[in-house]
């Protein structure tokens, strides 16, 4: 799973956001922001600069065509950032990278890569970020517990105690990302994107696509809920719009008839890159792009009223 920390699945993200809007795109929570319009076809002389940051849930490894210049980051040319940029005529700088943590955004270190935040500058007008899952080893443990359930002898799992310790540090790291984006790009609009849910709801059993013991299924459902709650809480505290992927992906988990994410053993399509276990598929990326586009429309309307 690409460094076995690949990404996380924040979904339920903006639980409790008081000023959240009730939208047709269930899953978009936003607070009023004053920022330049990013409406499609806005007539700007130069396309607005858009920076996409995050882990593999932003990069999209195995989805559609691979960006041959992205190296070990394995960015897709049809991830949600590319789809949105094409729809809105934005100048995309995609620095999302499989395996990235909040530290890789703020300080760098992934195989010598520069901090992702370095792509954000005064010319930037839109920033999106999907990160946090690898900080708490969400997908890594999801793969590790699956390995263990299938009888593997060398399955890597981070202990509950260490996961809890990492959760304690996550809110501060996310706040730092928000603050740094606004410091570097005061005219930019920042939107946080949650992780699409891999697992069915807590009242539901697993399935063949997610081979886990019942105890591990419940453990990982709880971790997912905690992760999305942290992302939603930081978004609320900082007044940052958030695409609530847990709501968008409800009913589209790996066990569903129309999943937005892969199971442990993704289908193989001859001639195409291999999808990654427990990660978004093209349908999921399409849905996130649509939700993000709707979020920007709502924010634009809010700004026009103020």
pLDDT tens digits, residue range 156-169?
999 999 999 999 99
Determine the Cα–Cα distance for residues 240 and 233; give it in Å rounded to an integer: 10
Instruction: Output the pLDDT for position 2.
Output: 46
Is pLDDT at 215 greater than 50 in this prediction? yes
pLDDT tens track for 68-95: 999 899 999 999 999 999 999 999 999 9
Is pLDDT at 8 greater than 80 in this prediction? no
What is the pLDDT of the chain when averaged over all its residues?
86
Determine the Cα–Cα distance for residues 46 and 6; give it in Å rounded to an integer: 34
Residue 106 banded pLDDT, cuts 50, 70, 90: very high
- Record the tokens describing residue 56, joined without a space: 């593999």
Instruction: Output the pLDDT for position 111.
Output: 76
Instruction: Output the pLDDT for position 73.
Output: 94
Instruction: Output the pLDDT for position 18.
Output: 29
- Record the tokens describing residue 278, joined without a space: 């427990």
**Percent of the chain residues past pLDDT 90, beyond the cut:** 74
Is pLDDT at 1 greater than 50 in this prediction? no
Is pLDDT at 294 greater than 50 in this prediction? yes
**How wide is the angle at C-alpha 52 spanned by C-alphas 260 and 12, nearest 5°?**
45
Determine the Cα–Cα distance for residues 280 and 263; give it in Å rounded to an integer: 10
**How wide is the angle at C-alpha 76 spanned by C-alphas 75 and 78, nearest 5°?**
150
Q: Which residue has the tokens 């992780």?
A: 195
pLDDT tens track for 216-272: 999 999 999 999 999 999 999 999 999 999 999 999 999 999 999 999 998 887 777
Residue 306 banded pLDDT, cuts 50, 70, 90: low
| Contact (CB, 8 A) for 286 and 12 | no
| Contact (CB, 8 A) for 261 and 253 | yes
- Record the tokens describing residue 132, joined without a space: 């946090």
Instruction: Output the pLDDT for position 38.
Output: 58
How would you write the chain as a 3-class SS string? Answer: CCCCCCCCCCCCCCCCCCCCCCCCCCCEECCCCCCCCCCCCCCCCCCCEEEEEECHHHHCCCCCCECCCCHHHCCECCCHHHHHHHHHCCEEEECCCCCCCHHHHHCCCHHHCCCHHHHCCCCEEEEEEECCCHHHCHHHHHHHHHHHHCCCCCCCCCCHHHHHHHHHHHHHHHHHHHHHHHHHCCCCEEEEECCCCCCCCCCCCCECCECCCHHHHHHHHHHHHHHHHHHHHHHHHHCCCEECHHHHCCCCCCCCCCCCECCCCCCCCCCCCCCCCCCECHHHHHHHHHHHHHHHHHHHHHHHHC
Instruction: Output the pLDDT for position 142.
Output: 97
Which residues make beta-bridge pairs with 190? 127
pLDDT tens track for 124-162: 999 999 999 999 999 999 999 999 999 998 999 999 999
| Contact (CB, 8 A) for 134 and 99 | yes
pLDDT tens track for 31-76: 333 334 455 444 447 899 999 999 999 999 999 998 999 989 999 9
State how beta strands 91-94 and 49-54 pair: parallel
Q: Which of 81-90, 205-214, 270-279 has the highest mean pLDDT?
A: 81-90
Instruction: Output the pLDDT for position 20.
Output: 34
Rg (alpha carbons) of the chain, rounded to whole number: 18
Is pLDDT at 5 greater than 50 in this prediction? no
């Amino acid at each position: 799973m690409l460094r076995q920390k690949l990404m996380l699945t924040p979904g339920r993200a903006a639980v409790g956001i008081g000023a959240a809007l009730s939208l047709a795109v269930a899953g978009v929570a936003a607070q009023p922001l004053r920022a330049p319009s990013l409406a499609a076809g806005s007539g700007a002389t130069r396309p607005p600069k858009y920076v996409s940051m995050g882990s593999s849930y932003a990069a999209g490894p195995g989805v559609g065509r691979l960006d041959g210049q992205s190296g070990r980051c394995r960015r897709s040319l049809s991830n949600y950032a590319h789809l949105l940029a094409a729809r809105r005529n934005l100048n995309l700088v995609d620095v999302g990278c499989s395996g990235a943590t909040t530290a890789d955004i703020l300080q760098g270190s992934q195989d010598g890569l520069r901090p992702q935040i370095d792509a954000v500058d005064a010319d930037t007008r839109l920033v999106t970020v999907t990160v946090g899952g690898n900080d708490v080893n969400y997908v890594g443990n999801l793969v590790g517990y699956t390995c263990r359930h299938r009888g593997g002898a060398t399955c890597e799992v981070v202990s509950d105690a260490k996961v809890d310790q990492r959760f304690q540090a996550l809110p501060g790291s996310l706040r730092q990302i928000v603050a740094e984006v606004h410091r570097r790009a005061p005219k930019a609009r920042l939107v946080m994107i949650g992780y699409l849910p891999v697992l069915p709801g807590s009242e539901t059993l697993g399935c063949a696509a997610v081979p886990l013991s019942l105890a591990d299924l419940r453990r990982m459902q709880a971790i997912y809920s905690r992760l999305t709650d942290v992302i939603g809480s930081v978004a609320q505290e900082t007044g940052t719009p958030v695409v609530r992927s847990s709501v968008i992906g409800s009913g589209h988990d790996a066990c569903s008839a129309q999943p937005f994410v892969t199971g442990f053993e993704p289908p193989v399509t001859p001639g195409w890159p291999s999808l990654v276990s427990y990660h978004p598929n093209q349908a999921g990326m399409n849905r996130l792009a649509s939700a993000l586009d709707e979020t920007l429309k709502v924010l634009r309307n809010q700004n026009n009223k103020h």
